[in-house]
Amino acid sequence: MRLLTFSTLILFSLIIILHSSSTTKAHNITRILAKHPAFSTYNHYLSVTHLADEINRRRTITVLAIDNAGMQSLLDKHLSISTLKNVLSLHILVDYFGAIKLHKITNGTTLVSSVFQATGAAAGTAGYVNITNLKGGKVGFGAEDNDGSLHSFYVKSIDEVSYDISVLQISQPLSSADAEAPTSAPSAINLISIMSKQGCKAFADLLRVSKALSTFEENIDGGLTVFCPTDSAVNDFTPKYKNLTDAKKVSLLLYHGIPVYESLQMLKSGNGVVNTLATEGANKYDLTVQNNGEDVKVQTKVVTASIVGTLIDQDPFVAYKINKVLLPRELFKVSEMAPAESPKGSSGSKKKKSSSGNKKGKEESSSSSSSDAPADGPSADDEEADDQKAADHNIGAKEGVTFIIFFFTFFIGILLL
C-alpha cells in the first residue's frame, strides 16, 4: 500500500516536470522592463528602434540594460535614431549569460557577438563585446573596438529565464566608436554595393543596369523592403530573364521590392497580400507573405520562396535574401515552372495588421490560397514546415494526455491515501 502511494507520488512529480517543460512561453522584453521604472528610458528606446522585436524573436539572448541616468548620458550625445539603434544593439548579446555563468567564464574572458554584429552593421570585430572576470568578483564589459578597455561593470541581474533570456544591469553604456559613427542617411545607402557584398551580387548586377534601380532608391526614405534572390537562383533564371522584353525585365525587378519597411518580426507576425514596387492598379503584381512559425515564405501564384537571411536591417530599409526568384503570374504561366502542389490545409492564416496602410488586408482563406496558388512542388522547406506543424500537434496532444494522466493519478493517489 505504502509502496503504491510512493510510486504514485513519483509518477506525479514526473508528470509535473514533463508538463512544465513542454510549455515555455515567449518572452517580451517590453513587459519585463516595464516592472522596473529605473529602466524606462532604455525600454522606450528598445521599442522606438524596433530592437524589442529583435529581442523577442530571439532565443538564448542577454540584454545589457542601462538605467535612466546612463541612458541620459547616451542621449546627451544627440545621436540619430539609426545610430542609437546601433549603439543599443551592441548591448544585446546573442548568447545566454545568467549571473552565474557570467562569473564563471572559461579562462576568465570571452568575446561575445552582439546584435550589432549579427545584423551586419558593424565593421570587422566592432560588434563583439569583451566580457572579463576581474578581481573581487567584478565583471567588466567593453566593446572590442574600444582598445580592450573594460569601462562598464556588472551591477545586478534584473530577470532571467534559464537559457532563454537574461536581463543584466551594467554600470554605464558600452562605448564604441564604430557603433556611434554617424550612420549614413538611408537615402545615401548604396543598395547595389550592400547587396553585392552580402551574397546577392547577381541580382544587384541586374538592378545596376536597369531603369528599376531609381524606383528602389526613391523608396528608401519612406520605407523599403527588398527580397534579393541568391546568386544561384538568379543564375538559373538568367536564360528566362534574357527572354523578357525590357519593360517586363523592369517589372520583374520591381516585383522584388515592397514600398514599406517590414522587419522580420513584422513578417513573422502576420500573413497577407502585399503590394510591390511593380504594383499598379488592384491585384497586379502582388505577393503573399506566409509565415509558419519561424519560417517566412514569399509566395506568388507561380513560385514559393523562403527567406534565408537578412542582408541589412536599418529601419526604414531592410533587405532579405530569398532562395528563389519571385515570378509574377503577370509574366509567367502558373504551370510553366512546376507541377501544381496538391492542396494542403494551411493553418494560422491570420490577417496582417494594416498599420502601414499598404497591406490590402485581404484575408485569403486557407483553401483558396492553396488551390489557386500552386507552388513549385513540395520542397525540402515545405516538408520541414510540415514536420514543424506535426511537432506542434504532438505537443498539443501530449499536453492533453498529460492532463488526463495527471487527474487519473491524483484520483488513485487520494483513494490509496
Ligand X SMILES: *[C@@H]1O[C@H](CO)[C@@H](O)[C@H](O)[C@H]1NC(C)=O
Lookup result for grid cell 509567367: 332
DSSP state of 199: T
Q: Which stretch binds ligand X (CB under 6 A): 10-18, 28-36, 118-126, 386-394?
A: 28-36
> Could you tell me the three cell numbers for 199?
551574397
Q: Of 132, 157, 198, 358, which lies in the binding site for ligand X, with binding defined by CB under 6 A?
A: 132
Q: Which is closer to ligand X, CB of 31 or CB of 398?
A: 31
Q: How far is the CB of 352 from ligand X (least distance, A)?
A: 14
Question: Among residues 54 and 180, whose Cβ is nearest to ligand X?
Answer: 54
Q: Annotate each residue in 95-124 with x if it binds ligand X (CB under 6 A) or - if it does not, as one string.
A: -----------xx-xxx-------------
Contact pick of 4, 14, 103, 148 for ligand X (by CB under 6 A) = 148
Cβ 311 vs Cβ 195: under 8 Å: yes
Residue 35 or 398: which CB sits closer to ligand X? Answer: 35
* Contact pattern from residue 182 through residue 201 relative to ligand X, giving x for each residue in contact according to CB under 6 A and a dash for the rest: --------------------
Asked if 315 and 121 touch (Cβ cutoff 8 Å), the reply is no
Task: Scan for cell 544561384, then name that residue.
Answer: 232
Q: How far is the CB of 132 from ligand X (least distance, A)?
A: 5
Radius of gyration (C-alpha) of the chain in whole angstroms: 25
The reply to whether 169 sits near ligand X by the rule CB under 6 A is no
Closest distance of CB 138 from ligand X, Å: 13
Single residue of 43, 49, 56, 292 touching ligand X by CB under 6 A: 56
CA distances from 99 to 152, 159, 187, 370 (A): 16, 10, 42, 48
Whole-angstrom distance, CA of residue 388 vs CA of residue 159: 30
Dist. CA 127–CA 120, nearest whole Å: 9
Query: Is residue 130 a contact point for ligand X (CB under 6 A)?
Result: yes
Residue 66 or 150: which CB sits closer to ligand X?
A: 150
CA nearest neighbour of 322 among 199, 175, 185: 199
Closer of 59 and 344 to ligand X (Cβ): 59
Per CB under 6 A, the segment of 27-35, 160-168, 277-285, 373-381 that binds ligand X is: 27-35
Distance CA(65)–CA(155), nearest Å, equals 10
Q: Which of 241, 89, 262, 69 is nearest to 155 (CA)?
A: 69
Q: How far is CA 335 from CA 252, 327, 364, in A?
A: 18, 12, 21
Contact 306, 297 (CB under 8 A): yes
Give the shortest CB-247-to-ligand X separation in angstroms: 15
3-class DSSP assignment, residue 93: strand
CB of 166 to ligand X, least distance (A): 18
Size of the site for ligand X (CB under 6 A): 16
Using rule CB under 6 A, residue 248 touches ligand X: no
- Find the DSSP H helices in 243-298: 246-254, 264-268
CB 68, CB 42: distance < 8 Å:
yes
Minimum distance from residue 336 beta carbon to ligand X (Å): 8
28 binds ligand X, rule: CB under 6 A: yes
d(CA 74, CA 66): 10
State yes or no: residue 214 binds ligand X (CB under 6 A): no
Shortest distance (Å) from residue 30 CB to ligand X: 4
Closer residue to ligand X (CB): 51 or 312: 51
CA neighbours closer than 13 Å in the CB half-sphere of residue 123: 8
The residue from 136, 239, 281, 345 that contacts ligand X (CB under 6 A) is 239
CB of 30 or CB of 68, closer to ligand X: 30
31 touching ligand X, by CB under 6 A: yes
What is the nearest approach in angstroms of ligand X to the Cβ of residue 269?
A: 7
Q: What is the dihedral of CA 82, 88, 90, 91, to 10 degrees?
A: -170
In the bound state with ligand X, the residue whose beta carbon lies nearer, of 20 and 243, is 243
Instruction: Report, in Å, the least distance between residue 29 CB and ligand X.
Output: 8
Burial of residue 35 (number of CB atoms within 10 Å: 0-12, 13-18, 19+): exposed
Interacting residues with ligand X (CB under 6 A): 28, 30-31, 56, 106-107, 109-111, 130, 132, 148, 150, 239-240, 243
